[in-house]
Every structure is written in structure tokens, then in C-alpha cells.
């Protein structure tokens, strides 16, 4: 863990140094990758460490984003207030959904999370008086932090970089704690952990809620980054893409989720410039990883080192 923390710190230092010298477009993509990386790491808490694949993770992401959009455009609430409310609403949504989803396992859990995610998408699409429906909510202003305007690209990039680092540290401490080790044991064998006296349901439920809270945090950043929130942010495609990010980077490796998010963001935006068949190329990358590196990029690198 010490070596991985050192590598992650070095990567953060490199990003902090190269950020100001990058052109505007790559810097914008890097900022987007940091935000989506937080979302991917939050899903990894469920998929990689708890063994619970979810197809409704965009719901908590969207709840956080919509909270910021509504509060900034209609109430002119500041950064701290929006972050608190966005994360709390996402956590509350995950707490309610978790009571329904944790009752199932395997494919049934996957389908329940899919259905719950579609409920949030339906509300975003139909509750026009609150969410503006298919038109979405535009004009979300960039925030101010301690008197510093985060309107321009570089200050907002540093804000997202620090946010991603804080999220990674908090989730890293969680997965190496006794609670996180218990989740790994439950992923391996629930019956064995029950025999040892662990409350399996409670462990899985807490992991579900915490995962939703971090996804909501990513959603609050996304609203500020994009300046626009719509039902597209909570649709199934967002959840599936996040799941693929985790699988690409390596489940059970938070840094792998961040790496997978960065690769997909840059592939989508750069490859699509040169060819209209960029989805085929992206699909080929997924297939290649599944065939030749089923544990993801980071998992494959670890296996080769061993």
C-alpha cells in the first residue's frame, strides 16, 4: 500500500505541474476524467470490494448534479451549501434504494439497481417543474472558494484535482480498514463471514450507501464542470460506461478505476475526431481487455510483476 500511495502521489504531482501548460482542450478533458474517475472509484467500492455490480449508479451521480443545478440557478446557494446538500441527497437516495437492492444478489441485484436507476431517470425526464424535463437545467455558474474564482479552466482543474485526491484517500482508507477487509471477505464467501459472526447485510448496506455518497460528490462537481444537467446524466448509458471504466482499469483497485476513466474519456474525445467509427474502436479495446486482461489493466500489471 505504501508503494501504491507513493505512485499515486507522484501522479498527482505530475498532473499539478503539467496542468497549467496544457492547451485548453486537453486540460478540459483531464478535468472531466478526474470527475468521472471519482464516480468510477465509487462504483468500485461495490463491484471490486463488495462483489456487487450495479447498473444504477448514475442515479446518485444525477441526484448530486441536479441538486447543485437547482440550488445555484434558483436559490443562488454557494459551493459549500451545494456540496453538502448534493452529497446528503445522494446518500439518502442510496440509503433508500439500498434497502430494496441488498435483499437480492447476483443477477437479481443487477436488475434491481437497473430498475431503481430508471426510476430516477424517469423523474428527471417527467418532473418538468423541478428538473425542466428533457430541456435540462442550464446556466450553472462555476463556484467561488475562499474568495477564489473557479471560473477559468486552470483554477477549476486544481479544485477537481484536490477533490479527486481527497476522494481517493478517503476511499483508500475505507478499503484498508477492518470494515473494508470485511467487505473483501464477504465478496469471497458470504456464508463463511456469517459463520465468523459478521453482519453481512449491514456491511453490504453501508458499502452501498457510502458508494452512493461518493457518486453524489462526483455529480456535484459534474454540474459545475458542465454548466448543464439533463436526464442524459442519469440514463443507463452513464451507468454502463462507469461499469466498463472499472472493468477496464481493474476491479478492486481504486487507482485502476481512475485510470480506466481517464482512458475512456480521452479515447471517446480524441478518437471520435478522426473517425466516425470510434465506438467500434472503443468496443475493441473492451473486448481486448476482457480476453487478455480479465482483471483489468492494473490487475494484469500486478500479475506480471508477481
Give φ, ψ of 114 to 5 degrees. -60, -45
Q: For residue 67, what pLDDT is reported?
A: 96
Within 13 Å of residue 258, how many CA atoms lie on the same side as its CB? 21
Inter-CA distances, 219 with 64, 246, 261, Å? 5, 17, 15
Q: Parallel, antiparallel, or unpaired: how do β-strands 148-149 and 137-138 relate?
A: unpaired
Answer whether residue 179 shows pLDDT above 90.
Answer: yes
The confidence band for 12, taking pLDDT boundaries of 50, 70 and 90, is confident
Q: For residue 97, what pLDDT is reported?
A: 95
Q: For residue 15, what pLDDT is reported?
A: 87
CA angle, 157 as apex, 167 and 151 as ends, to 5°?
120
For 211-250, list the strands marked E by DSSP: 228-229
Average pLDDT, the chain: 88
Kindly give, in sequence order, each residue whose CB lies less than 8 Å from that of residue 271, ignoring residues fewer than 6 positions away.
278, 281, 282
Q: In DSSP terms, which residues pair with 54 in a beta bridge?
A: none
Model confidence pLDDT, tens digit, residues 149-159: 888 889 999 99
Q: In DSSP terms, which residues pair with 57 in a beta bridge?
A: none
CATH class assigned to 2-245: mainly alpha
> Distance between CA atoms of 15 and 26, rounded to whole angstroms?
12
The candidate with the shortest Cα–Cα distance to 244, out of 207, 179, 168, 297, is 297
- Cβ distance 207 to 46 under 8 Å? yes
Within 13 Å of residue 186, how many CA atoms lie on the same side as its CB? 27
Give the pTM.
Answer: 0.93
All three cell numbers of 18, joined, read 503539467
Q: For residue 16, what pLDDT is reported?
A: 87
> Distance between CA atoms of 182 and 186, rounded to whole angstroms?
6
Q: For residue 152, what pLDDT is reported?
A: 87
String of DSSP letters for 59-120? HHHHHHHHHHHHHHHHS---HHHHHHHHHHHHHHHHHHHHHHHTT--THHHHHHHHHHHHHH
Kindly give, in sequence order, each residue whose CB lies less than 8 Å from that of residue 7, ignoring residues fewer than 6 positions away.
255
Give me the residue spans of the domains in the chain: 2-245
- Cβ distance 264 to 282 under 8 Å? yes
Inter-CA distances, 128 with 125, 137, 235, Å? 7, 10, 16
Sign of the dihedral defined by the CA atoms of residues 96, 231, 40, 31, in that order: negative
The candidate with the shortest Cα–Cα distance to 239, out of 56, 69, 65, is 56
Convert 278-299 to b/e letters by CB count within 10 Å (16 or more is b): beeebeebeeebeeebebbbbb
Model confidence pLDDT, tens digit, residues 239-289: 988 988 998 888 888 888 898 999 889 888 877 777 777 777 777 777 777
Amino acid at each position: 500500500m505504501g508503494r501504491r500511495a507513493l505512485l499515486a502521489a507522484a501522479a498527482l504531482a505530475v498532473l499539478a505541474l503539467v496542468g497549467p501548460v496544457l492547451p485548453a482542450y486537453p486540460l478540459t478533458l483531464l478535468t472531466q476524467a478526474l470527475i468521472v474517475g471519482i464516480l468510477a472509484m465509487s462504483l468500485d467500492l461495490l463491484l471490486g470490494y463488495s462483489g456487487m455490480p450495479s447498473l444504477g449508479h448514475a442515479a446518485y451521480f444525477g441526484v448530486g448534479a441536479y441538486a447543485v443545478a437547482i440550488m445555484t440557478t434558483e436559490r443562488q446557494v454557494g459551493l459549500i451549501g451545494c456540496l453538502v446538500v448534493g452529497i446528503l441527497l445522494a446518500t439518502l437516495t442510496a440509503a433508500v434504494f439500498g434497502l430494496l437492492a441488498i435483499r437480492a444478489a447476483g443477477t437479481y441485484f443487477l436488475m434491481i439497481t437497473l430498475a431503481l436507476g430508471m426510476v430516477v431517470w424517469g423523474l428527471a425526464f417527467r418532473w418538468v417543474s423541478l428538473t425542466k424535463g428533457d430541456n435540462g437545467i442550464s446556466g450553472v455558474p462555476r463556484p467561488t472558494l475562499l474568495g477564489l474564482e473557479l471560473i477559468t479552466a486552470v483554477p477549476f482543474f486544481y479544485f477537481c484535482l484536490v477533490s479527486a485526491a481527497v476522494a481517493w484517500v478517503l476511499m483508500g482508507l475505507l478499503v484498508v480498514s477492518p470494515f473494508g477487509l470485511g467487505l473483501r471477505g464477504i465478496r469471497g464467501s458470504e456464508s463463511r463471514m456469517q459463520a465468523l459472526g459478521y453482519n453481512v447485510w449491514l456491511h453490504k448496506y453501508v458499502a452501498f450507501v457510502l458508494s452512493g455518497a461518493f457518486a453524489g460528490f462526483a455529480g456535484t462537481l459534474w454540474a459545475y464542470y458542465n454548466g448543464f444537467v439533463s436526464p442524459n446524466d442519469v440514463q443507463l448509458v452513464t451507468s454502463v460506461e462507469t461499469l466498463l471504466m472499472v472493468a477496464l482499469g481493474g476491479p478492486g483497485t481504486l487507482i485502476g478505476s481512475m485510470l480506466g476513466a481517464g482512458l475512456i474519456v480521452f479515447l471517446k474525445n480524441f478518437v471520435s475526431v478522426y473517425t466516425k467509427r470510434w465506438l467500434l474502436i472503443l468496443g475493441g479495446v473492451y473486448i481486448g481487455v476482457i480476453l487478455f486482461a480479465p482483471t483489468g489493466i492494473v490487475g494484469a500489471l500486478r500479475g506480471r510483476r508477481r
